[in-house]
Amino acid sequence: MTSFAAFGWLTEGNNLRFILEGFLINLQIAVVAIVLALIAGLGLALLRLSRNRVVSVVTGIWVDVFRNLPLLLLILFLFLWIPTSARDTWEDVMPSWMPEAWQSGLMLAGLSGLVLYNSAVLAEIMRAGIQSLPRGQSEAAQALGLNYRQAMRHVILPQGLRRMVPATVSQLITLTKDTTLVSIIAIVEVMRRARTVTATSGNPFTGGGTEAPILEVFLFVGLLFIIFNYALSRLSRRLEIREKERSGSKPDIEVRGLEEQVA
Amino acid sequence: MPFAFVDTLTENFDEFLRGFGITVQLVVVSFVIAMAVGTLIAAFRVAPNPWLQRIGGLYVECFRNIPLLVLIFISYPGLRRAGVDISAFVAGVASLGLYTAAYVAEALRSGVFSVSKGQIEASLSLGFTYPETMRRIILPQAFRTVISPLGSLIIAMIKNSAILGGSILALDDLLKTGRVIASRTFDVIPAFVWAAAGYLILTGLATLAIRMLETRYAVKR
């Protein structure tokens, strides 16, 4: 058994930089996906709360289906289902200064899968956030003569969305971990790069002439995620506490997030 | 077109059923591991000894923040290359089990903290030892508050089990079966829809079961 101190490969050639840059791609994917998922999720949450029965029920089914499916199933399905022409279009549209991983048409499938799943999860968090507001808020808005739209925009959403900030940060942690799944459809990010480093023939891109031990390489990759996500979770905790202080000592009606669900 | 959907299911029913069974197996075995390890870690985290607390905390932070896929690479090709002869199934359930154990530990811990401190003090002053207090006074009460977070974890586990089949472990679970059938028959949509239906059945059943437990053990006030 190799010794656990065998991290010499890190300093060989460009290995360290090669892996760190791969990790950066994961973070980029996570940020882009969370922004798109927040926008789509807000739309879904509003449709879900719509007063039109049909719209609300249909959206409810959509949300429940997509948040209860394995993310990897969605990604693999989109990978097989999205036509090559759409991938080609993506590749044409992506400017050449974008990182290589983003120029690949596969990213379309990976990103859509992440957004499809996370928008459903976030929609549920937002709905809970909005519905956790005391009824009096919307009644007061109505009494002041605001219509539904105005009440949503000026009274309900600003308060409801504030409450879901901590839950969103925890979702971002999950999302960061989930970005590794796109490696399964051959998008080159940290997992693929780590495998390149461990390739038996040595790494042609970085000039590390020898193969690196798989165990140590992935322990290192794991460590990157642990450090980053630990920092994020601390941030989330702090936001939660601040939110509690800000809203007085309003006890636990706030969104406990699907924090435990995320696993 | 609708017939093509049904045909995909009927013609490959045995295969789908087998994949479904393997997914159930993966989830059940991983859940047992997650509960056992999670309980131990939770006990560490609420133990009076600060070193045990630290070890528990470290476990939770590590396994909660690492991607499951990385754990799989560590436990299967990583350990195998390092000379440990581990099977894909064991590596898979160990990864999923240990990963979920961190969340289980957190759920149990917050459950324990939901029981008021007075209960512990009362119990200790009545002459119960610390382990006795835990087992007889605190845990039975904590169990109630823990049902719904544990339920969400089971649902998350069902979804995460797909990563075992989709990754290099290549276990023949439901997702893998759907994938194989899709590439063999070129009926991509039906194959994936039926696999998805299998997952929705599992998550749906889990949701129902949790709801029943919640009503059954609800505190009657």
Residue A141's contacts (CB-CB under 8 Å, 6 or more residues apart) are: A150, A151, A154, A155, A156
Distance from A139 to chain B by nearest Cα, in Å? 30
How sure is the predictor about A1, in pLDDT bands with cuts at 50, 70 and 90?
A: very low
Alpha-carbon torsion angle A126, A132, A133, A136, nearest 10: 140
Share of chain B above pLDDT 90, in %: 55
Nearest chain B residue to A117 by CA distance is B159
Which residues in chain A have their CB less than 8 angstroms from residue B101's CB? none
Nearest chain B residue to A260 by CA distance is B149
Q: Using the beta-carbon criterion (under 8 Å), do A194 and B178 form an inter-chain contact?
A: no
Distance of alpha carbon A63 from its chain centroid, rounded?
16
Comparing A209 with A235, the larger pLDDT belongs to A235
Which residues in chain A have their CB less than 8 angstroms from residue B178's CB? 73
Whether the per-residue pLDDT at A189 is higher than 70: the answer is: yes
Interface test with B, best of A79, A189, A215 (most B CBs within 10 A): A215
Stretch (H or E) spanning A162:
helix A157-163
Nearest to A70 among B71, B83, B199 (CB): B199
pLDDT in tens, A59-90: 999 999 999 999 999 999 999 899 989 999 99
Interface of A with B in 114-153 (CB under 8 A): none
pLDDT at residue A257, as a whole number: 40
Take residue B188 and report the two structure tokens written for it: 């991509």
Q: Using the beta-carbon criterion (under 8 Å), do A214 and B81 form an inter-chain contact?
A: yes
Take residue A46 and report the two structure tokens written for it: 């509003």
pLDDT at residue B136, as a whole number: 85
pLDDT at residue A255, as a whole number: 43
Mean pLDDT of the A134-158 span: 86
pLDDT in tens, B23-44: 999 999 999 999 999 999 998 9
Find, among A199, A197, A179, A203, the residue nearest to A189 by Cα: A179
Whether the per-residue pLDDT at A96 is higher than 60: the answer is: yes
Mean pLDDT of the A92-100 span: 84
How sure is the predictor about A2, in pLDDT bands with cuts at 50, 70 and 90?
A: very low
Nearest chain A residue to B182 by CA distance is A80
CA–CA separation, B112 and B140 (whole Å): 10
Which residues in chain B have their CB less than 8 angstroms from residue A73's CB? 162, 166, 175, 178, 192, 195-196, 199
pLDDT in tens, B57-103: 999 999 999 999 999 999 998 888 888 888 999 999 999 999 999 99
What integer best gives the mean pLDDT of chain A? 84
Q: Using the beta-carbon criterion (under 8 Å), do B159 and A71 form an inter-chain contact?
A: yes
pLDDT in tens, A13-64: 788 888 999 999 999 999 999 999 999 999 999 999 888 999 999 999 999 9
Which residues in chain B have their CB less than 8 angstroms from residue A183's CB? 69
Alpha-carbon torsion angle B101, B205, B111, A227, nearest 10: 40
> Could you please report the per-residue DSSP string of B29-54?
HHHHHHHHHHHHHHHHHHSS-HHHHH
Region of B119 on the Ramachandran plot (φ > 0 left; ψ -120 to 50 alpha; else beta):
alpha
What three-state secondary structure class fits A203?
strand
Which residues in chain A have their CB less than 8 angstroms from residue B157's CB? 263
Residue A216 CB-half CA count within 13 A: 18
What integer best gives the mean pLDDT of chain B? 89
Mean pLDDT of the A133-155 span: 86
Residue A146's contacts (CB-CB under 8 Å, 6 or more residues apart) are: A154, A155
Whether the per-residue pLDDT at A200 is higher than 60: the answer is: no
How many Cβ pairs closer than 8 A exist between chain A and B?
137
pLDDT in tens, B126-139: 989 888 888 888 87
How sure is the predictor about A210, in pLDDT bands with cuts at 50, 70 and 90?
A: low
Whether the per-residue pLDDT at A204 is higher than 60: the answer is: no
Interface test with A, best of B61, B71, B113, B159 (most A CBs within 10 A): B159
pLDDT at residue A250, as a whole number: 52
How sure is the predictor about A168, in pLDDT bands with cuts at 50, 70 and 90?
A: confident
A184, A208 in Cβ contact below 8 A? no
